Amino acid sequence: MPATVGRRADRLATVRRVTSGIDRRTVVRIGVVVAVAYAAWLAVKAFGRPYTFFDMKIYHGAVVWWATGHELYEFVAPDTTLGFTYPPFAGLVMLPMAHLPVEAAGMVNALASLGALAIVLAGLLRPIVDRLGWPLWFTVALAVPLAAAIEPGRETLGYGQVNLLLFALVMADLIGLRWRSRRGTHVSDEDGPLLRFVYSGAWAGAGIGLATAVKLTPALFIVYLMITRQWRAATTAIATTIGVTIGTFAIVGAESRTYFGSVLWQTERVGAADMTPNQSLAGLLARLYDSIETPGLLWFSFSVLILALGLSRASNAHADGDELTAFTLVGLTANVISPISWTHHLVFVVPAIIILADAAVRRREASRGLAHRAGQAATNGALPGVNGLRPPIWYPTLTGLRHGVAAIGLYLLFLVSPIWPYEHQLPEVSHYQDGLFGALMENSLAVALIVLVAALPWRPGAEPVFYTDRMSRVVVGARR
């Protein structure tokens, strides 16, 4: 018996030695991350759809078909009318997966997409967590499953789509612009030329160019860069797109001519405009008119209006020093005005939620400062405010509440995704089959996108990307 007790004591001593160097807060945080990841998995099972890498099977089948000597754009997936709809450069990028089974290709794409999402979230959240003093690893570890659980994330992963990878390319340019504005602060003389080039941000624009070569809608970011006179990044993006496209012509000229000559204009290849997953303005109008086709003139008129509104607000956000909001507004605007925006395209909802949550925190912090100064003034006998009234003690709590509620509401909307219980398809079933409430639910994500373009707040001074050389010229000019 004493020997048994001794062995147990030895084992306990070993456990104590192993755990003595582990911070209890770290253990708790790991437990929280595991719980959140499990809750996200349950949410996907509860609110998501059956996912079988459906789109990946089309891509995989198309590149296998192409690799065996057939024409890429002649491929039609079995039991469907769907074929390959991306530019030929995308086909070249996907060609290596022809050597993998389709399930393995889908898993590789899912892991790469999650990795890209984690890197992007680390870049987007870094300025926020540094200001608040939160651990970056813990914040990102929570954010990744939360972002993957909502409609754009789970649809992209489950269907084997590429939207998170394209999102990462665009957001890489945002990080590049941020680094360029702080050139010289990340590197030392001991760093090699490659690292100095990376942190210089001179490559900013290449990500948008590559994304545009894969899918045309990111081209709106080039327009934004030109409007805001970020000429170097715009030139880099244009040169990258043109260079990649010309290079693709040189490699696969027949497919390039087929795509730009005919496939690009065959919008019916991707599906009818009124399909429920199409949450663009065109899909919204088609469903409201209970028609398979979008009313063209009305769609064009509203698209021009939303385009002007989105780019104008993005330009103002950039001028006020909030490039993340500017990029988010451009991405949301592209989703709204595109003829087809499937729910897995709507990845810019993720930074929109971050912006709303951070705006709530910033406003609360600012109101606390005002309340503190008001208390000091009251102590000194000088009451600030209207008619000498001091701000209420609950003022800091309520300030920013609407942005916090908006962030939570937006997240829950895209988590639950209420469009699917009210999915209808003409001519079999009218989009008004379930009344006005059903029509509202079927179009809820599209309505949310339009509201965000019109009302997403920006945070002045949050992360300006004004180039150092430009600012120095402005200062010198002002002194003269």
| SS3 (DSSP) at 117 | helix
Cα radius of gyration (the chain): 26
| Cβ-contact 92, 427 below 8 angstroms | no
Q: Mean pLDDT, to the nearest integer, of 420-425?
A: 92
> Rounded to an integer, what distance in angstroms lies between the CA atom of residue 139 and that of residue 141?
5
Residue 22 sits at the vertex; the CA angle it makes with 16 and 27, to the nearest 5 degrees, is 110
Q: Mean pLDDT, to the nearest integer, of 321-341?
A: 96
Question: For the ranges 58-67, 328-337, 411-420, which has the lowest average pLDDT?
Answer: 58-67
Residue 476 confidence (pLDDT) above 50: no
> Rounded to an integer, what distance in angstroms lies between the CA atom of residue 228 and that of residue 230?
6
Q: Mean pLDDT, to the nearest integer, of 450-479?
A: 71
pLDDT of residue 213: 93
Whose CA is closest to 340, among 416, 407, 264, 393? 264
> Rounded to an integer, what distance in angstroms lies between the CA atom of residue 142 and that of residue 202?
32
> Rounded to an integer, what distance in angstroms lies between the CA atom of residue 28 and that of residue 135?
13
Residue 23 confidence (pLDDT) above 80: no
Question: For the ranges 242-256, 330-344, 365-379, which has the lowest average pLDDT?
Answer: 365-379
The number of helix segments (H) and strand segments (E) in the chain equals: 22, 0
Position 239 confidence tier, pLDDT thresholds 50, 70, 90: very high
More confident residue, 254 or 409: 409
| Identity of the residue numbered 478 | A
The tokens for 208 are: 């948008």
Q: Mean pLDDT, to the nearest integer, of 182-193?
A: 64
Residue 349 sits at the vertex; the CA angle it makes with 444 and 57, to the nearest 5 degrees, is 90
Q: What is the dihedral of CA 66, 68, 69, 73, to 10 degrees?
A: -20
54-57 long-range contacts (CB < 8 A, ≥24 apart) are 54/159, 54/160, 55/159, 55/160, 55/161, 56/102, 56/105, 56/106, 56/109, 56/159, 56/160, 56/161, 57/102, 57/160
Q: What is the dihedral of CA 380, 381, 387, 390, to 10 degrees?
A: 50
More confident residue, 192 or 220: 220
Residue 25 confidence (pLDDT) above 70: yes
> Rounded to an integer, what distance in angstroms lies between the CA atom of residue 358 and that of residue 360?
5
Residue 480 confidence (pLDDT) above 50: no
Position 80 confidence tier, pLDDT thresholds 50, 70, 90: confident
| Cβ-contact 49, 277 below 8 angstroms | no
- For 367-409, the pLDDT digits (tens) are 665 545 555 555 555 555 545 555 555 555 566 788 899 999 9
pLDDT of residue 479: 42
The pTM for the full model equals 0.87
- For 82-125, the pLDDT digits (tens) are 888 889 999 999 999 999 999 999 999 999 999 999 999 999 99
